Amino acid sequence: MTAAPKILAINGSERDGNTADVLRHAAAHAAERGVEFEIVDLRNVRMERCGPCGDCNDRTFVCAVRDDIPSVVGRMIDADGIVFAAPVHGFGTASLMQTFIERAGVGYLRFNRPLSNKVAGVISVARRYSAGEVWAQLTVNALLNRMILVGSGFPATVHALHRGDALKDIEGLKNVERLVDRMADMMALLREHRELTGRDALSSNDVNERVGLPLNELAGTK
């Protein structure tokens, strides 16, 4: 029996607040589509900041800092789709998500782009300002990892101030539902193509694009 498609959501909020409420809403909608939806709350992940070593652009092996990032990256690799969700703090992405992008991306994902051709969705939560800027930053991060980004028409940005306000933003939640629907449809199409042809729908010929290192030099890194 074929396993149900799975979306893993990365919640970059420091609190169990509006961003978590939005993701729980997304999970309920995903269940209606027969899609498993798991949430990783970065506030519960042991995650160190990038250290002073400064050799990230030269190394050909994974990050030396020891924390829970490898476990989260492994769960992302096992999923069919990834949702990046974060609130706006100080007119930018919440610090937990920023740290995760740096640690996971530079420390692990850049070597062979293991998220290539996985389906990506982006959600930002804001009181009023900078929702688009945070949404754009997370979108670029997904594209950097060669993911297949699906849209929701209007971006899945949800507006909220006090706890519980996100669930009152009917238009924002509708865009979140539309995002989940389109992710589910795309995951189904990609799985069907893979089962019929035995290969991914999009090529990923070279494993890295790092300046100063030959393409494919990092293949087979531990």
Domains present along the chain, CATH in parentheses: 6-197 (3.40.50.360)
pLDDT tens sequence across 115-149:
999 999 999 999 999 999 999 999 999 999 999 99
pLDDT tens sequence across 186-197:
999 999 998 998
What is the mean predicted confidence (pLDDT) over 15-41? 98
3-state secondary structure of 120: strand
Rounded CA gap, 120 and 39, in Å?
14
Predicted confidence (pLDDT) at residue 208 exceeds the cutoff of 70: no
In eight-state DSSP terms, residue 151 is -
DSSP assignment string, 1-67: -PPPPEEEEEE--SSSSHHHHHHHHHHHHHHHTT-EEEEEEGGGS--PPP-S---TTT-SS--S--S
pLDDT tens sequence across 149-187:
999 999 999 999 999 999 999 999 999 999 999 999 999
The pTM of the full predicted model, rounded to 2 decimals, is 0.92
Measured between alpha carbons, how far is residue 98 from residues 49, 101, 141, 190 in Å?
A: 10, 5, 10, 29
Tell me what pLDDT residue 55 has: 79
Confidence of residue 210 (pLDDT cuts 50, 70, 90): low
Place of tokens 């607040």: 17
Predicted confidence (pLDDT) at residue 216 exceeds the cutoff of 60: no
Percent of the chain with pLDDT over 90: 75
Predicted confidence (pLDDT) at residue 57 exceeds the cutoff of 50: yes
Which of 179, 188, 184, 165 has its CA nearest to residue 135? 179
Question: Which residue would you say has higher pLDDT here, 1 or 71?
Answer: 71
Tell me what pLDDT residue 220 has: 43
Tokens encoding 129? 């300002």
Confidence of residue 204 (pLDDT cuts 50, 70, 90): low
- What average pLDDT does the chain have? 91
Predicted confidence (pLDDT) at residue 215 exceeds the cutoff of 60: no
Rounded CA gap, 82 and 116, in Å?
11
Predicted confidence (pLDDT) at residue 25 exceeds the cutoff of 70: yes
Predicted confidence (pLDDT) at residue 56 exceeds the cutoff of 50: yes
